Amino acid sequence: MGLYAETLFYSMGDRGLLIEFGDEISREINEKVRRMGLAVRDEIREGIVEVVPTYRSLLIIYNPLLLPIEDLKKRVKWIEEGLQKVPLPEPKLTRIPAVYGGIYGPDLEGVARYHQISPEKVVQLHCSKAYLIYMIGFMPGYPYMGELPEELVTPRLKTPRLVVPKGSVAIAQGQTGIYSMESPGGWQIIGRTPVELFDPGRDPPSLLQMGDLVQFYQISEKELKK
Amino acid sequence: MATFEVLEPGILTTIQDLGRYGFSQFGVPPSGALDTFSLRVSNLLVGNEENEACLEVTLMGLRIRALEEVVIAITGGDLSPTLNGESLEMWRTHLLVQDDIIAFKKVNAGCRAYLSTSGGFVVPKIMGSSSTYLSGKFGGVEGRPLRRGDLLYTSNGSSLDKLGLRFPGDWIPSLEKVVFLRVIPGPQDHHFTEKGFQALISSSYEVTPQCDRMGVRLEGPRIERRSDVEESIISEGLIPGAVQVPGDGKPIIILTELVTGGYTKIATIITTDLPRVAQLKPGDRVKFKPISVKDANHLLKEQEERLKEFKKIIENQALAVDRVRVDQ
C-alpha cells in the first residue's frame, strides 16, 4: 500500500476536511502532507481556520459559510496537481543533548535487555543518526521523529506512566520523541534533555518544526544540571 | 485598578475567549470557551466584540466582588447566579456598583456559565488569544484556574447604553436532561460494524465523571469495531466534537484542549451542537443522530443569522439612546 494512488477525502464534522495521502509512516507520504499544508496556507486564505499537518494526513478546519466544502475540495485537488512544484524549505539540523539511563532514563536497561545489547550500545545507536521530524503534536512542541535504527525498534510500555517528566527522551516502535511538558505517557523513557522545546512567548513557540532534523548527543548528569 | 476580586474560585473558573488558532502545527490546541454561542452572546450584550475574554464558570462556587462600577452579563448554563444574595436574571445586562457580590450557588441546569464585562477581561495575550490552556499551563491568568485573592482587570468599555438589554427569550438554548447531538459520520466510521454504528445512534449514553476541557467520556453500549482493523490509527489532527472510540468501545467526545490523537473517530458532532456538549455534566444523557453536512451547514447559517439579527437589535437600541441624549 503506502502512498495512495488516489488521495482520500473524509469529512470530520461540518467544518473539518481530512485529506489522507497514505496508510503508513513514510518520508514520501509525510513530504506530501507538508507540501499540501504549505500550499493550502499560502493559496487559500479566505475561510481557512486551521491546518493540522500530521504523519500521513492533513486536517483543514474551515468556515463552511465562507468556504463551502465542495469549493474547498476542488481547490485542494487543483493544488494537488501542481504539488511537486511547491518548494520545501531546507531542513534545519538541531543537535539535542541528553543524559541517558539512571533516573533520567528508567527504561534504558529494559530496552537494552529486550534487544540483548548493552545500554551503551542503545545510547550509541540512538545518537548514531539524524532523525526526521514527521510532525509536532500530542502536546505543544512534542516532536514525533524517525526512523530509529532497526536494532532499537521497541514496543510501547504495557502500562503507560501517569507522569513522565518534562524533557524525557523516549522511543516507541520505530519512533523517538521528547516530552516537551510533564504528562502521562506510554513510550519507553531512555534519557532526558535540558533543552526547552516549547516557549509560548517565543516566535515560533516550538523549537523544532515538522520537516527539520534532530540528532542527539550524550552529556553527563553534571552538564544536565548546568 | 482591578475590577473584581475573587473571593472563592469555585470548582473551576478560567478566562476564555474564542480560542487560539493557527498554532496546531506546533502542537498547540485551540483551548477557548467550550460553549462559544453563550460566550459570543454574553459579549454582545455588554457591547463587546464577540471574541473578548470572559469568565468560564464551571458548576458552582465562584464568588467575586466588584471593586468599581461595571456592566456585566451572564449566559450559558443556569448555575443560579446571585447579586448580593438575590437571584440575578441571566441573558441580560446588569450594572454592578462597588462591593456588589456575584455568586454561583447551585447547578440548576447545564454546566458552564459565561460572565462578560464591558471592555472584556484583560490578561496577556499568548499567541493572539486570552484563553487559558490548562494542561499547557499558559494563557488566561498564569495558565491556571482562578484562585482566591486573584484580582481581575478589565479594559474600559462604555456600555451604559446597553443596560437592560436582553437576549430574546425564544433564542436562548434550552438545557435538557437528555441531550440530542447531531453528528456527521466519520472520518473512520468504516472501521466499525453496522451493529456498532447502530449502537451509537440508537442508544443513550451517560456522561461519566471523567469529563473536563479535554473531553467527555461516555458510558453505554459498546461500539463494535470490525475485526480486521487495528484499534489505533496513525496519529492525526482532531477537531472539537470528534467522537473517538478507544479499545474498550466506549465513546469519548473530544473538546478544545487536544490537537492530535491516534484513536478512530466514528462520527463528529456538528458545530451548532457543540454548545450543548459544553453544558453536559456527569449523570446527563446524550443521544446521537446522524445528519448530512448540507443540513449542518444550514443549521449553522440559521444560528449566524440570528446573531446578526441580535446585533441589529443592539445597534437600534444604541441609536435610540443617542437620540434621547440629543433631544435632551
List, for residues B202-231, the tens digit of each pLDDT value.
999 999 999 999 999 999 999 999 999 988
Per CB-CB distance under 8 Å, the chain A contacts of B136 are 139-140, 181, 200
Dist. CA A9–CA A49, nearest whole Å: 18
Helix (H) or strand (E) holding A109: helix A108-115
* Binding-face residues of A in 155-194 toward B, CB within 8 A: 180-181, 183
Strand partners, B216: B211, B253
- Measure CB to CB from residue A14 to each of B23, B136, B184 and give the nearest one: B184
Nearest in space to B243 (alpha carbons), one of B226, B225, B229, B264:
B264
Q: What would the grid cell of residue B191 be?
A: 472501521
Domain A93-225 CATH (choose: 3.10.450.50, 2.60.40.3470, 2.30.110.10, 2.40.100.10): 2.40.100.10
Provide the 10 A C-beta neighbour count for residue A73: 15
Q: Which of A10, A50, A137 sits opposite B21 (nearest CB)?
A: A50
Residue B47 zone, left/alpha/beta (φ > 0; ψ -120 to 50; rest): left
- What cell does B204 get? 443513550
CATH (domain of B189): 2.40.100.10
For B271, the grid coordinates are 458545530
- CB contact under 8 Å between B25 and A55, yes or no, is no
B54 strand-pairing partners: B16
pLDDT of residue B320: 67
Contacts of A9 in chain B (CB under 8 A): none
What is the tens place of the pLDDT at every residue in A98-125? Answer: 999 999 999 999 999 999 999 999 999 9
**Is the domain of B268 the same as that of B123?**
no
Residues B47 and B193 in one domain: no
Do B253 and B156 have their domain in common?
no
Q: Nearest by CB to A49, from B21, B138, B304: name it.
A: B21
Report the pLDDT averaged over residues B269-288: 97
pLDDT(A139) > 80: yes
pLDDT of residue B323: 57
> Are B35 and B117 found together in one domain?
yes
B32 and B166 in a common domain? yes
Q: Count residue pairs from A and B with Cβ separation < 8 A.
A: 141
Nearest residue to B116 via CA among B154, B62, B81: B154
In a domain, B311, yes or no: no
Contacts of B270 (CB under 8 A, 6+ apart): A13, A14, B182, B183, B184, B241, B291, B296, B299, B300
- B183 with B246, same domain: the answer is yes
CA nearest to A204 within chain B = B26
Establish if B312 belongs to a structural domain: no
Instruction: Report if pTM > 0.90.
Output: yes
Q: What ipTM was predicted for this assembly? A: 0.95
B162 and B63 part of one domain: yes
Out of B171, B198, B214, pick the residue that ends a domain.
B171
- Per the structure, the complete domain to which residue B58 belongs is given by 4-171
Buried-state track B277-296, b at ≥16 Cβ within 10 A, e below 16: bbbbbeebbbbbeebebeeb
Domain positions in chain A are: 3-85, 93-225
Q: Does residue B143 share a domain with residue B221?
A: no
pLDDT above 90: percentage of residues in chain A: 96
Residue in the block written with cell 469555585: B10
Cα B268 to Cα B219: distance, rounded to the nearest angstrom = 18
Domain stops at, among B127, B148, B171:
B171
**Number of domains observed in the structure of chain B:** 2
CATH class of residue range A3-85: alpha beta
Q: Does B164 lie in the same domain as B204?
A: no
Q: What is the pLDDT of residue B328?
A: 45
How far apart are the C-alpha atoms of B164 and B155, rounded to whole Å? 21
Which residue of B24, B190, B269 is the best one to mutate when testing the A interface, meaning the one whose CB has the most A CBs within 10 A?
B24
Tens digits of per-residue pLDDT, A34-60? 999 999 999 998 999 999 999 999 999
Assess whether pLDDT exceeds 80 at residue B327. no
Is residue B101 domain-shared with residue B54, that is, in the same domain? yes
Yes or no: say if B276 and B269 are a contact pair by the CB < 8 Å rule: no
What does pLDDT average to over chain A?
Answer: 96
* B49 plus B137 within the same structural domain: yes
C-alpha cell at B299: 443549521
DSSP label at residue A226:
-
Q: Which among B153, B171, B189 is the end of a domain?
A: B171
Cell of A21: 495521502
pLDDT on residue A40: 97
* 3-state DSSP of chain B: CCCEEEEEECCEEEEECCCCCCCHHHCCCCCCCCCHHHHHHHHHHCCCCCCCCEEEEECCCEEEEECCCEEEEEEEEECCEEECCEECCCCEEEEECCCCEEEECCCCEEEEEEEEECCCECCCCECCECCCECCCCECCECCECCCCCCEECECCCCCHHHCCCECCHHHCCCCCCEEEEEEEECCCHHHECHHHHHHHHHCEEEEEEEECCCEEEEECCCCCECCCCCCEEEEEECCCCEEEECCCCCCEEECCCCCEEEEEEEEEECHHHHHHHHCCCCCCEEEEEECCHHHHHHHHHHHHHHHHHHHHHHHHHHHHHHHHHHHC
Which residues of chain B have a CB within 8 Å of the CB of A198? 26-27
pLDDT in tens, B30-87: 999 999 999 999 999 999 999 999 999 999 999 999 999 999 999 999 999 999 999 9
Closest by CA position to B77, among listed B55, B46, B96? B55
